[in-house]
Every structure is written in C-alpha cells, then in structure tokens.
Homo-oligomer: A and B are copies of this chain.
Amino acid sequence: MPVAKGTALDPAETRAGIVRSATTLLYQRGLAGIGVAELCTTMGISKETLYRHFGSKNGLIHAVLTARSDHVVRWLDDAVKEAGDDPDDQVTAVFDALGRWHAELSFRGCAIVNAATQQYDVEIRALAGRHLGRHRALLTRIAHDAGVRDEVTVGKQLLALLEGSTVLASLGGDTDAASVAKDAAHALIQAGR
C-alpha cells in the first residue's frame, strides 16, 4: 500500500504499513532476492523513510519476522478457539487451517523457517526457535487436554508433522500433505493415551 507524499503524518502508521507490505515482498522473493531500492519503489516509500524507521535492511527483516510470528500464532490460536473445547476437534482445526494455507497460490512455506534458512543470522535463528516453541506450546497443551500420557513427546511429534507437511506441501508437491498429517496426528494422540 503506497503512502502518498505528505498525507500520512503518523509515523507509527507509516511503519506498520511498511511492515505489512514488506512482509509479502520478502516472503515471495526471499530475503536476499529483493534489494532495498526495489523494495522501496515497490512499496512507494523512499529509502530515507525506511532507514529512519528500521535502521538497516536487517532491522526491517527483524521487524517483519517478529510481526509475522505474532500473526501466525494468533491465526492458529483463533482456529483452535473456533473449534471448541474438544481436543480432537482442535487438532482437526489446526491441520485443516494448515491445509487451507498450503493451498494458497502464494504459499512458499513458513516465512520464518525460510528466513532462518536463507540467512545465517543468530538473531533470526533465535526468533525461529521461539516461533517453533510457541507452536509446540499450543500443540503440547492440546495433547495434554487430549489425555495422552506423555504430552511433551506428543507435542513434539505433532510439531514435526506440522513443519514436515509444510515442507512437503512447499517443495514436494503434496497437495494433501496437511490432510495426511492430520490423520497421523489423530493416530498419534490415540496411540499415546
């Protein structure tokens, strides 16, 4: 969303708009696949504005990934909440939401995992680790509510299915990866009770 010349005088809003636009561009093209110049012209802002708000390209990337992690976690949380109180329904909701995401034309895998893979950067890797930890916490909680004996292990297994099916959908061409993972998740919970 380009910002007109002198119309937006709220810096916070400008910053939020940049994060929103840059998220898409960096996701589609990769962190190193688009330069700062093209990034700015496409977003309709000047380089000076970008560097005043984020200090560096890495600063922008960090802001984008942090916001992205919050967004994805909220998205999964909402899907779980809509599913009600039954843990089995919650598992179904998680992997059905995953499947809808995988089916999007613009799907290119998890933006945060991709970022950590693209750029060897301690901060980004730590952010990715926290991101995976947040997913694991949700899945572990669901496993606990489902009454499995070892919810920590089952939580890790569900997370492996979630991330693995995302890789398969992104690179392996498996259009039903999430559905297959969903069945596996239910089977693992059943076996773990």
Contact = CB atoms under 8 A, between A and B. Distances in A.
Interface in A100-134: 108-109, 113-114, 116-120, 125, 128-129, 132-133
Contacts of A183: 153, 157
A122 to B, nearest CB: 12
A107 to B, nearest CB: 13
Nearest to A125: B171
A162 interface: yes
A190 interface: yes
A174 B164 CA distance: 14
Interface stretch (A27-35, A62-70, A71-79, A80-88): A27-35
Contacts of A180: 153, 156-157, 160
A163 B156 contact: no
A29 B190 CA distance: 42
Contacts of A184: 157, 160-161, 184, 188
Interface of A: 29-30, 32-33, 108-109, 113-114, 116-120, 125, 128-129, 132-133, 136, 153, 156-157, 159-165, 167-168, 171-174, 177, 180-181, 183-184, 187-188, 190-192
